Amino acid sequence: MSTVGSVGISELQAAIRNVPDFPKPGIQFKDITPVLGDARLFRGLVHHLTSGFEPGSVDAIAGIDARGFIFGGAMAIELNAAFVPIRKQGKLPYRTHEARYDLEYGSTTIAIHVDAVRPGSKVILIDDVLATGGTAAAAMELLKRLGAEVLGAVFFIELEFLKGREKLRGVPVRSLVAY
Ligand code: AMP
């Protein structure tokens, strides 16, 4: 027996693997692959990520490269919504809008197809981890440039001490597990 409802947040949190000093010294990487590797946990996670949103009330899920694609695709199916990829610069084949943002060292650019969502579309943004919020804020900027109505930004994990939420003011932010 494996009902989705039986997967609690604490069980999901217990499955997150902390990998110290990856990809560089001082970073504790939150590895979500143990959750993906367990069918019951993965399904339970997707259920929690979509809870509060009704099928038919969301036009599209926008997932951030790359782990946001894994959750976002599954959420889109569950909510009967479209899926929109927000990718690193140079990966999307058609015309794009781009947003540049600062990293600890240097900067990076993400992109979205110019026709990814229609103006007024109701969109949910999804990624695995909210850290400094730079990536999600840039993704939000791209969605707003297309005229999307962002219903919320959803994350499996939030690193609260990095205060990423402050960069997403004006949009409801939800995370399942906070550190
Ligand atoms: P940020 O722009 O700082 O909020 O970083 C968010 C992006 O970096 C997300 O796409 C995450 O997948 C990734 N990320 C940042 N910090 C971590 C971490 N400690 N563990 C895993 N992924 C992370």
Please tell me the residue having the least CA distance from ligand 1 atom 13.
Answer: 129
Q: How far is CA 27 from the centre of its chain?
A: 20
Q: Look up residue 52 and give its two tokens.
A: 């509060």
pLDDT of residue 150: 98
Confidence of residue 105 (pLDDT cuts 50, 70, 90): confident
Contacts of residue 63, defined as CB under 8 A and 6 or more positions apart, other chains included, come to: 69, 70, 71, 72, 73, 83, 84, 85, 86, 126, 127
Question: Given this model, what pLDDT does residue 2 score?
Answer: 45
Tell whether ligand 1 has an atom less than 6 A from the beta carbon of residue 134: yes
pLDDT digits (tens, 9 = 90+) for 1-35: 445 558 999 999 999 999 999 999 999 999 999 99
Determine if ligand 1 sits within 6 Å of the CB of residue 164: yes
The domains found in the chain, sorted by start residue, are 55-178 (3.40.50.2020)
Radius of gyration of the chain (CA): 16
Helix (H) or strand (E) holding 31: strand 28-31
Question: Is the CB–ligand 1 distance for residue 168 below 6 Å?
Answer: no
Nearest CA to ligand 1 atom 19: 29
Secondary structure letter of residue 24 according to DSSP: S
Q: Which residues form the catalytic set?
A: 67, 104
Nearest atom in ligand 1 to 127's CA: 10
Q: Which residue puts its alpha carbon closest to atom 15 of ligand 1?
A: 131
CA 127 to ligand 1 centroid distance, Å: 9
- For ligand 1, the distance from its centroid to the CA atom of residue 44, given in whole angstroms, is 22
pLDDT for 1 equals: 43
> What is the pTM for the complete model shown?
0.96
Q: What is the pLDDT of residues 67-94, one digit of tens each?
A: 999 999 999 999 999 999 999 999 999 9
Ligand 1 and 167: CB distance under 6 A: no
Instruction: Decide whether any atom of ligand 1 lies within 6 Å of the 85 Cβ.
Output: no
- Which residues neighbour 152 within 8 Å (Cβ) at sequence distance 6 or greater? 53, 124, 125, 171, 172, 173, 174
pLDDT digits (tens, 9 = 90+) for 115-131: 999 999 999 999 999 99
State how far the Cα of 164 lies from the Cα of 22, in Å rounded to an integer.
Answer: 20
> Relative to the CA of 138, which ligand 1 atom is closest?
2
